[in-house]
Homo-oligomer: A and B are copies of this chain.
Amino acid sequence: MTLPKRVTITDVAEAAGVAASTVSRALSTPGRVNATTRDHILEVAERLGYVPNPSARAMSSGRTHTFALLVPDITNPYFAGAIKGAERAAAAAGKTLVLGDTQESPSVERELVQRLGPAVDGLVIAAARGTDEDLAAAAGRHRLALVNRTLPGVAGVPSVVADYDAGTRQIVDHLVSLGHESLVFLAGPHESWSGARRWAGLLAAAESSGVAARRLGPYQPTLQGGPAAADAALAARATAIVCHNDMLAIGVLRRLAGRGVRVPDDVSVVGFDDMFGADFCQPALTTLAERTEDAGACAIDLLLRPGSAATVVVPTQLKVRDSTGPCR
C-alpha cells in the first residue's frame, strides 16, 4: 500500500497562481493578504487537501507548536487529570502534546528531557522526580513548567502547585470538629515533594489547633503499602489516620476491614488526591481533592505565555465521605 504524496505549499501556490510565500501568509497571517486572493488561496488549499508540514514549519520558524508532558506513571489515575487538562489546553491553542512516562525514575526523566526537549517548545514536568540540579539544568536548556514542585532559587521556572496549606487546614478542622485530638500521618516516599508539603501543612495546622500529629513511615504509596501502614497506625492507637495518598488510604481501608476494625466507627481515614475510585471504595473515602485537570491546563498556559513566571496555586477541596466520623 503506497501512501499518496503530500500536497505542499508549492502545489497550492502553483494551483492558485501565486507565490509560495503568499500562501504561507494567507495561512498564518491572513490580515496581511488581500481578502480576495486570500479567499482564493484558502479555497484552493482546501480543495487540494493541503496540510502544512509541521517539521518544515518548525525548521524555519523555530517553533514546533508542540509541548511535552512528563509524568511519573501514566497508568496512575492521579495523573490522568493533569494529562487531560494539558492535552485540552494544548489542543485549544492548536498545539500538540507529547506524553512521556518517566517510570518514577530520575534518570528516565533526565533522558526524556534531553530527548524530547529539542523537539518541543516547552516541557511540563508533573511531580518531577529529579533533583533540583536536574531541573535547573533542564530549565537552562528548555522552557519548563512544573506541576506540584517548585524550584527555589532558579528564576523563570513557573510552577503550578496545589494549595496544600489550605487543604491540610481543612482536614485538621474536619477532624477536630469530629472530636479527634490527635492524628497519625502515614507517609509516602521521603523524596516526594508533595508528601513533604502535605506533612508540613498537616503539622502546622495540627499545632495551631492543639492536635497532636505523628508521622509514621515511609510506606509504599500503593495498595500494597496498606497493610504495613495500617498495622503501624493501629499500634500507635490512632483515632484518625491521614494517608499520603488515596492509593495508600484504600490499601489501609482494606487492611482495617481485614482486621475487623470498623471505619469510621473505630478509626477515621483520610486520603489525598480524590483519585478515581475514591468514591466507590468501601467505605467511600474522605479525601482532599486537587483540581489536577486545572493544574495540567494551567501549566500549559504558563508555557504559552512566557514572562508570567509565577507560582500558581490551585485550590484544593476536602471531599467528606464515609471514612471519617466522630472520635470513638
Contacts and interface: CB of A to CB of B under 8 A. Distances in A.
Nearest to A55: B58
B51 A55 contact: no
A212 B5 CA distance: 54
Contact of A84 (B55, B75, B293): B75
A56 B59 contact: yes
Interface string A127-163: 0000000000000111100000000000110000000
Bin the interface of chain A by size.
35 or more
Copies of this subunit: 2
Interface stretch (A11-19, A116-124, A196-204, A233-241): A116-124
Interface string A1-24: 101101000000000000000000
A225 interface: no
A101 interface: yes
A44 interface: no
A188 interface: no
A137 to B, nearest CB: 10
Given A83-B75, A142-B3, A276-B77, A118 B59 contact: no
A96 interface: yes
Nearest to A103: B88
Contact of A280 (B3, B96, B250): B250
A97 interface: yes
Interface string A90-106: 01000011111100000
Contacts of A97: 98-100
A281 B278 CA distance: 9
Contacts of A293: 75
> Which 8 A-B pairs give the minimum distances between C-beta atoms?
A277-B277, A282-B282, A55-B58, A1-B156, A75-B80, A54-B119, A99-B99, A55-B55
Interface of A: 1, 3-4, 6, 51-56, 58-59, 64, 66, 73-75, 77, 80-81, 83-84, 87-88, 91, 96-101, 114-119, 140-143, 155-156, 223, 250, 254, 276-277, 280-282, 293, 309
